[in-house]
């Protein structure tokens, strides 16, 4: 059973990164540049069960999405209120305007303000307390299932891929 899961994971990973040669491929977007100030913002209500206090109103404007739908970049903003948030995807945020007080489920507390960058792991909760307003850019990535992540790391190890650093690594 374990070997079947590993094989299925390797096949899934290969299907994700290797194009099928005889199937038509959609035109890939290789570069997307848009002003974050000009994105069309859509109401994205916060789950009412997650709201602790106030009436926070959130909006999202999609900037870009990877061709495999495993990564997504958006601008998100929210008015005053306090709520819990569940992170379905790994999410890195950069605060553009305003601020937010964060209480992570591990007890870590931090106030994020314009220019601050933070990471939230998929599968975790955090409490957000917005005094007035917050606007952020959010970089989201679907995490690989554990067997696929293990296979991917093994492939990198076998290929001799060393951990890289830097933006263009």
Of 98 and 9, the one with more pLDDT: 98
Is 108 part of a structural domain of the chain? Answer: yes
- If you search the block for the tokens 């404007």, which residue do you land on? 61
Q: Is 98 left (phi over 0), alpha (psi -120 to 50) or beta?
A: left
pLDDT tens, 85-122? Answer: 999 999 999 999 999 999 999 999 999 999 999 999 99
Residue pair 87/142 in contact (Cβ under 8 Å)? The answer is: no
Give the predicted TM-score (pTM) of the model.
0.75
Is 166 part of a structural domain of the chain? Answer: no
User: Looking at residues 6-18, what average pLDDT do you find?
Assistant: 48
Is 121 part of a structural domain of the chain? Answer: yes
- Top-confidence range, 30-39, 107-116, 137-146: 107-116
Please check the confidence at residue 136 and state whether its pLDDT lies above 90.
Answer: yes
What total of structural domains would you count in the chain?
1
Q: How confident is the model at residue 165 (pLDDT cuts 50, 70, 90)?
A: low
Residue 133: give the domain boundaries.
40-156
Is 129 part of a structural domain of the chain? Answer: yes
């Amino acid at each position: 059973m374990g070997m079947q899961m590993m094989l299925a994971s390797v096949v899934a990973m290969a299907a994700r990164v290797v194009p099928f040669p005889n199937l038509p491929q959609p035109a890939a977007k290789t570069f997307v540049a848009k002003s974050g100030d000009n994105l069309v913002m859509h109401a994205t209500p916060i789950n009412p069960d997650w709201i602790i206090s106030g009436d926070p109103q959130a909006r999202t404007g999609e900037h870009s999405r990877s061709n495999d739908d495993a990564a997504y970049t958006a601008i998100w903003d929210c008015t005053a209120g306090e709520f819990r948030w569940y992170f379905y995807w790994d999410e890195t945020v950069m605060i553009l305007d305003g601020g937010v007080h964060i209480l992570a489920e591990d007890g870590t507390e931090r106030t994020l303000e314009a220019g601050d960058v933070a990471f939230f792991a998929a599968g975790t909760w955090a409490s957000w307390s917005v005094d007035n307003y917050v606007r952020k850019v959010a970089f989201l990535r679907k995490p690989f299932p554990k067997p696929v992540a293990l296979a991917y790391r093994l492939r990198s190890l076998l290929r001799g891929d060393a951990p890289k650093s830097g933006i263009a690594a």
